[in-house]
Amino acid sequence: MRDIAVGLIGSGYIGKTHTIAYKAHTSVFGGPANPVCTALADAGQARADEAATRLGFGRAYGDWRDLVAAPDIDVVAIATPNAMHKDMALAAIRAGKHVYIEKPLALDAREAREIAAALEGTALVHMLGYNYLCNPIIGTLKALLDAGEIGEILHFRGRHNEDYMADPATPWGWRCSRALSGSGTIGDMGSHLISMAMHLVGPVAAICGDIQTVIAERTDGTGKVRAVENEDQAHALVRFRSGAMGVFESSRIAQGKKQGLAFEIVGSKGSVEFDQERMNELRLYDAGAPAGRRGFKTILVDTSCPDFGAFCPAPGHGLGYNDLKVIEVNRLMRAITDGAPVPVNVFDAVVIEEVIDAWLASAAGRSWIDLPPGA
């Protein structure tokens, strides 16, 4: 089996999740290729050395440019704050490396299109970290929708709400900065919701949003009070190209929601409900059931769901968040080895950025925005 040398940039929250996934991948899936934690880069040599030792990477770089230039690296994985994605991705693509980029792809659609343009005409694999699409039960849900089991999709009501910034005492961080993050909760979590809605219902045709910054200032790690420059909460009315209606909601100050990516899809013959906090189950309502027997039933993940059996032969023995990354890494390995499609590539991610930009623009202009054809 071929080894694939991974160079990871960034060793924070999601950098660790990446590492867990690279290390677990081959024992879970047995192939088709073996990701090897070859090099890690972080901001400065000391931080990189510490992280490479702790996480188990072969060598460390204090400057990410050196990692990108290293001839033995096959894939550059970008797990840094959003503002760095573009330059890192462009450098990696120019160096002929496959790229695995955390979401959101960039600060905005203009930057995202620059990355996409650099990929035109290359044979490089490119994948985004929209890991929630890799949930085996979401695979079953997608198949069920495509087979028409709930009929025509009429409505999608989704939210990705968490409470990691609900406490005003939570320090100012890069996610509060326009320059480092771009948007706030929309890019951070709304992007996951948009990717899910597009995966299940199809492209968004138009959006009318509203946004709000509730906690206007926070104190940073040095004790300095700083402005929060992007939105804490947001919602939007949506029209999909299929004609279906939708409602999106995203908040980083939603008390009590921990991993609150959840949605309901209403069809002409039934409905489905999903909540990432109960990520191993799906709730399905069949309007064709006999009177007196109609109601939502709960379906637990089992080996009929894509990829679940690679982890465990036993139905209902659930997976966790980190396992979604293992599945995502397997998609990357399959794409590199066999040319298999990935869940979200850079071109798909450009469209997600266009929806984010339109959501923000519609909020600023207090009006509906039509997405460009093809978006």
In the complex, the residues that contact ligand NAI under the rule CB under 6 A are: 9-15, 41-43, 47, 64, 79-82, 84, 102-103, 129, 131, 188
Q: How far is the CB of 14 from ligand NAI (least distance, A)?
A: 4
Q: How far is the CB of 138 from ligand NAI (least distance, A)?
A: 14
CA distances from 348 to 18, 183, 374 (A): 21, 19, 10
Q: Closer CB to ligand NAI, residue 97 or residue 103? A: 103
Produce one character per residue of 258-277: b if its CB has 16 or more CB atoms within 10 Å, e if not: ebbbbbbbbbeebbbbbbbe
Q: Closer CB to ligand NAI, residue 10 or residue 35? A: 10
Q: How far is the CB of 83 from ligand NAI (least distance, A)?
A: 9
Spatial distance between the Cα atoms of 71 and 123, rounded to a whole number of angstroms: 17
Provide the angle, in degrees to the nearest 10, between the axes of the packed helices 346-365 and 109-119: 160
Q: Which residue is nearest to ligand NAI (CB)?
A: 12
Q: How far is the CB of 32 from ligand NAI (least distance, A)?
A: 23
Contacts of 220 (CB under 8 A, 6+ apart): 171, 172, 173, 226
Q: Closer CB to ligand NAI, residue 14 or residue 284? A: 14
Q: Are 82 and 187 in contact (CB under 8 A)?
A: yes
Contacts of 317 (CB under 8 A, 6+ apart): none
Instruction: Report which secondary-structure segment, H or E, holds 233.
Output: strand 233-240
Q: Closer CB to ligand NAI, residue 329 or residue 369? A: 329
Q: How far is the CB of 64 from ligand NAI (least distance, A)?
A: 5
Q: Closer CB to ligand NAI, residue 73 or residue 84? A: 84
Torsion sign, CA atoms 169, 170, 171, 175:
negative
Q: How far is the CB of 58 from ligand NAI (least distance, A)?
A: 17
CA distances from 306 to 139, 141, 238, 331, 345 (A): 6, 10, 29, 12, 20
Q: Closer CB to ligand NAI, residue 176 or residue 253? A: 176
Q: Closer CB to ligand NAI, residue 10 or residue 260? A: 10
Q: How far is the CB of 43 from ligand NAI (least distance, A)?
A: 4
Q: Which residue has the tokens 């709960």?
A: 298
